[in-house]
Structure 1
Amino acid sequence: MVSAKHEGHLAGPCSQGKPRSVHQPWAILAPVNFLQLLLPDFALILLGYLVCRYTALGRPVWEQVESLVYFFLFPVLLFQSIVRSPLDLGAASSLIAAGLLLGIAGIALAYAVPHLPGLRGRIDAREHAGAAQVAFRFNSYIALALSERLAGPEGLLLIAVLIGVCVPLFNVGAVWPMARHSNTGFVRALVRNPLIIATALGLAANFAGFRIPPWLETTVSRVGGASLPLGLMAAGAGMQLAHLAQQKALTVSLLTIRHLLLPLVALGLAWALRLPPAQAAVLLAFSALPTASSCYVLAARMGYNGPYVAGLVTLSTLLGLASLPFALGVLRAVLG
């Protein structure tokens, strides 16, 4: 999702004209305060929890907020994110391949959980269908902020590439088990899902060369931006931590995939594809992000256990304080 003028950056030439290697030092990357980065999201989840339980703004209010986020605000954010920059698939082909392979690995691991030795019979099929998405989806707001701090403007371009190619895959991966388990029909669920529709329209608009007009861009940005705080607060409002204790095996399995196994997969892909330092750093960060706040909204709107998924979103946000330093510290040092 980058223009041709940025192709040289994505290919990774260094100032001396030699190609970067994954063995090059990581000095180009800025230090990141992960607590400062993740605290606002966690604070919004906590705020939603407190407002829902201790004010007159109870569950009926937040059910309407969930609908607003799901059917309007978040689709606008997805569309804007995808059409923001021209899509140039050849400019970062290795990163695109790594992102897709990472996504496929996450989806496969999430789907395999009920069938793993020691977990057969211990995982409720309906709970798994609604929560499997937690293992592979990602918080796009944190992704954008983190990538810019890691590698500046180039980092933003790189994460835009990953968002553009992975969001369609992840949305389909999230909807499939829920549609299959509820017998609503996979194709029907896809064509009616607002997140899928927004993604498809965004990709079509990008390939057609459409850009949001400058006079409309600020309004669209504000509409899409509103989805993030409201989505997080809605997750907090719907959260019931007692549900986590009832599904311990599923909780541990999904969060282990999200925060431990996927960073290790990303390490292997960065090494195998010999990604330049900036691309490898963005891929590692992408692999260790907290899960998407919209996981809760999607599960709740499709009739699944929203409070349980909200608890997973909260735990994932906290675990990001460990998985991001692990990916960008320990694993980055392995590549370095």
Structure 2
Amino acid sequence: MSDALLLLPDFLLIVSGFLVCRHTPLGRSVWDGVERLVYYLLFPVLLFHSIVRSPLAFGETLPLVVAGLGVVGTGIAMSYALKAVPGVDPVAHASGAQVAFRFNSYVALALADKLAGPAGVAWTAMLVAVCVPLCNFGAVYPLARQGGHRFWQEVLRNPLILSTLAGLTANLLGLRVPEPVAPALQRMGQAALALGLMTVGAGLQLGGLWAAPRLAAALLGIRHVVLPLVAFGLIALLRVPAAQQPVVVAFAAMPTASSAYVLALRMGGNGPYVAGLVTVSTLLGMASIPLWLAAWRHLA
């Protein structure tokens, strides 16, 4: 399967969620329960298991890790800065800022295997482990501030942040999931991926992006144009090993996380707006990933 077609299954799941919600008896009331199940149970299990199952060798991957954190940090800073632009809707910004720096970790892991085999998967798992907590802190802060929530209270009860930190702690302590339990966690993670994408489609309103189209263009521009360029610069600056470079480029060009919609909805943000951003980001990722990888190969 080509790099572009790798994201096609994700987009088809979004479309199927949209069609099922609007053209079958499984309407909005059903999907409200599914969203809660994904957010509070399935996605936390997915994050925990994806981190804890891969040993983290920090000494061998320091330039890779710093590059990943640099990409995410740049995305957070630039997306936050958009709030100062005159005319930006504060609710749309608080809801959608996360789209500029969060990433679809399962797509990243699947593509890493194609790019660099088992070593690529291990390197990407390292990026997931160190970058997901930063991404979730960055996503929760504007939503908590806009909604009048207490930031640290939201952090301490956010299931995505807690599961990621738990997975990272278990990995660093050398703990592993017992073999009889691991397959069950893996299947729950697979369910999270499918149902999470379908909930994006179920919550999609075709006019959602029109709530703030210029902001949407800026956020998607950061995610799919600026961050890959930042990755190119960090690769050169940090002298990332050649074998790890395509992993960094692909990581920077990833479509945004499908759980962005669920987080925005659960914290009182503009869910339909974020659902539209996630859908468009998935489409853009099908084009931007192979283009940026081709640009890296040309420059390497």
Q: TM-score category by the smaller chain? A: over 0.9
Moved more, 319-328 or 169-178: 319-328
- Structure 2 residues without counterparts, runs of 5 or longer: none
Q: Deviations over 1:73-103 (max 9, x none)?
A: 0000000011112222212111111111111
Aligned-residue identity in percent: 55
Moved more, 308-317 or 324-333: 324-333
Give runs of aligned pairs for residues 235-314 of structure 1, distance below 5 A.
Answer: 235-314=200-279
Which one has the largest radius of gyration? Answer: 1
Give runs of aligned pairs for residues 103-142 of structure 1, distance below 5 A.
Answer: 103-115=72-84, 120-142=85-107
Matched, 1:220 2:185: yes
Q: In structure 2, give the amino acid aligned to 1:266.
A: A
Moved more, 316-325 or 71-80: 316-325
Q: CA RMSD in A?
A: 1.0
Assess if the C-alpha contact under 8 Å between 1:107 and 1:135 holds in 2: yes
Please give the TM-score of this superposition, normalised by the length of structure 2.
0.98
Distance 1:35 1:86 in 2: 29
The match for 1:64 is 33
Distance 1:34 1:91 in 2: 27
Assess if the C-alpha contact under 8 Å between 2:4 and 2:287 holds in 1: no
Matched, 1:38 2:3: no
Assess if the C-alpha contact under 8 Å between 1:122 and 1:249 holds in 2: no
The match for 1:4 is none
Distance 2:110 2:56 in 1: 20
1:279 shift after superposition: 1.0
Match of 1:157 among 122, 131, 137: 122
Distance 1:331 1:107 in 2: 24
Q: In structure 2, give the amino acid aligned to 1:82.
A: I
Moved more, 105-114 or 253-262: 105-114
1:330 shift after superposition: 1.5
> Which 4+ runs in 1 deviate beyond 3 A?
none
1:332 shift after superposition: 3.5
Q: Helix, strand or coil for the counterpart of 1:34?
A: coil
1:302 shift after superposition: 0.8
Q: Deviations over 1:232-284 (max 9, x none)?
A: 00000000120212311111000000000000000000111111222110000
- Structure 1 residues without counterparts, runs of 5 or longer: 1-31
The match for 1:204 is 169
Match of 2:21 among 35, 40, 52: 52
Matched, 1:172 2:137: yes
Q: In structure 2, give the amino acid aligned to 1:278.
A: A
Aligned length: 300
Distance 2:296 2:165 in 1: 34
Distance 2:252 2:297 in 1: 12
Q: In structure 1, give the amino acid aligned to 2:243.
A: A
Distance 1:85 1:286 in 2: 17
1:299 shift after superposition: 0.5
Distance 2:240 2:65 in 1: 11
More helix by proportion, 1 or 2? 2
Assess if the C-alpha contact under 8 Å between 1:289 and 1:324 holds in 2: yes
Q: Deviations over 1:38-92 (max 9, x none)?
A: 1100000000000000000011100100000000000000000111122222121
Distance 2:4 2:265 in 1: 29
Moved more, 221-230 or 81-90: 81-90
Assess if the C-alpha contact under 8 Å between 2:113 and 2:121 holds in 1: yes
